[in-house]
Structure 1
C-alpha cells in the first residue's frame, strides 16, 4: 500500500491542508491520482481539510446564508412552530441548549434548522419504520427559505458524489465503488446560528462542544466569523478559520469505521468570541440507511484486522442521535406508541 500503508500517521498539525478538487471535474487521470494521494495524507494525518474549486455556485451559498439570517431573526414563538419534536425524523428547528454534543458539557449555545433528503410519508422505507427517512418540515409562508435550502441541499449532493469518488481513489478502490451505497443517502443539511459569548467562558457551555461527527464526512460553509477549532494529537486546539472560496471538509465516524481508523474522525468544537452573530452551514453525508458499514477491503490485511463489527448506517446514526438530542428518543417512543395503537 502507498502513503504509509494501513498504519496511519497522526500529526500534531498546526494548520489545515487545502485540497484542490478541480481534477474530479476535469477527468484527467494523472491529476486525479495526485489529488487522491494528497487527500489520503490529509485524511490519515489530520482528518480535516479545506476544498477549493468545488463548483458550488457562490450565489447558492449566499442565498442560504441570507435565508438563515432571516429565519433566525424571527421571535421564538414563530420558530417553535416547526420544532424538531414535531418531526419523527429530526427535521426542523432546535433552540439554544437543546443539543449537547459533548456529554460532559451543559448544552450547546446555538440554534439550528435541519432538513434532509425529502422522502414522502408513503415511501416504503418510511412505512417500514426507517425513521431517518421522511418529509421535511417547512415554515409556513417562507417560500424563499425553503427554496434556498433545497437548492443548497441539491448542490451538496452533487459535491458529495465528487468527494466520494475522490475518497474511493484515495483508498485504492474503483472510483465508483461507493455509488450503489448512496442512492438514497442519509444527507442532512443544517443551518446554524451562534450568538456571541462575552467575558469568561465556561468550556462546558460553548457554541458547540467538543465532538466528532457521525456520518461519512461533513461539508461546512462558514461566514466570515472565526469560531471552529480542531484538536491535534498534542492536545492543542487549531483554528480552522474561514477561507474565501473554500469549504471545510472533515471525516466522520462512519468513514473512520469504513477505513478501519486509517482516516481520522477528528474532534472539533466552535466558540464564538467575536462579539457578533455567527452563522454556518454544515452538510452531513452518509450512505443509505441499510448500507452496512464495515472495514473496506483495502483497509484490512493479516496485520490489520477489522476493529469494528459491521453495522447498518441507519442504526448507527439512530444511536448517536438518541445520545445527543434530548427530543429525539422521545419522538421515537411517541411514534412507536402510535404505531402500536
Structure 2
C-alpha cells in the first residue's frame, strides 16, 4: 500500500541543544519516495563516498529516493540512499516548524521480485528463497525483521 504522509518536525528549543537528529539515519524500504520539503533545510544524505551531505531545499523541487525494494529488484543498479533529518544550523530556523510531505510508493506485495531487464542485460535479483524469488511482502518482512530484531514479537 502506498502512503502519503504529512510530516511536522516541531521547533528545537534551547533545551534540545544536544539533539543531533530530528529523525535518525535510515533508508526507505519502499520502492520509491517522493519528498516535498519546505525551505527550512535539515535533510542530509550519505553519498557514494560515504560522506553525509546537506540536501539544500530548492523551491518547487521534489527529492526522489530509491527504496530498498527497488535497489534489490534492480540488482543494485539503482541504489537506495541512507538519509536523516537534523535541526537547521540557523538559530532562527531552529525555532520554527519544519514540514514536509512524503509519498512512499509501494509495489503490489504479492508479486515476485523477478529480475528486471535492462538494455545491457538482466539485473541479478538477490532476493531468492530456495528456488523461488521472494514476493515483495516477504522481502519487506525480512528487512523489517532485521531492523527490529530486538523486539520479541516480530514475526517472520
Alignment TM-score, normalising by the size of structure 2:
0.75
Q: Relative contact order (C-alpha < 8 Å, sep 6+): which is higher? A: 2
Secondary structure class of the residue paired with 2:58:
coil
Change (3 A) 1:320 1:299: farther
| CA root-mean-square deviation | 2.9
Show structure 2 runs of 5+ residues with no match: none
2:111 and 2:102 map into 1 onto residues whose CA distance is 22
Match of 1:307 in 2: 126
2:61 and 2:110 map into 1 onto residues whose CA distance is 32
Greater helix fraction, Structure 1 or Structure 2: 1
Is 2:50 aligned against 1:235? yes
Show structure 1 runs of 5+ residues with no match: 1-185, 334-341
Is 2:96 aligned against 1:281? no
Answer yes or no: is the 8 Å Cα contact 1:216–1:253 preserved in 2.
yes
Answer yes or no: is the 8 Å Cα contact 2:127–2:139 preserved in 1.
no
Match of 1:247 in 2: 62
What pairs with 1:1-341 in structure 2 (closer than 5 Å)? 186-197=1-12, 198-201=16-19, 203=20, 206-273=21-88, 274-275=93-94, 276-298=96-118, 301=121, 305-309=124-128, 310-321=133-144
Answer yes or no: is the 8 Å Cα contact 1:220–1:247 preserved in 2.
yes
Deviations 1:176-219 (A, max 9, x none): xxxxxxxxxx2012221212344233x5xx21111111111101
Larger radius of gyration: 1
Greater strand fraction, Structure 1 or Structure 2: 2
1:270 and 1:262 map into 2 onto residues whose CA distance is 26
**Structure 1 residue 301 displacement after superposition:** 4.8
**Structure 1 residue 324 displacement after superposition:** 5.5
Aligned residues: 142
1:194 and 1:321 map into 2 onto residues whose CA distance is 24
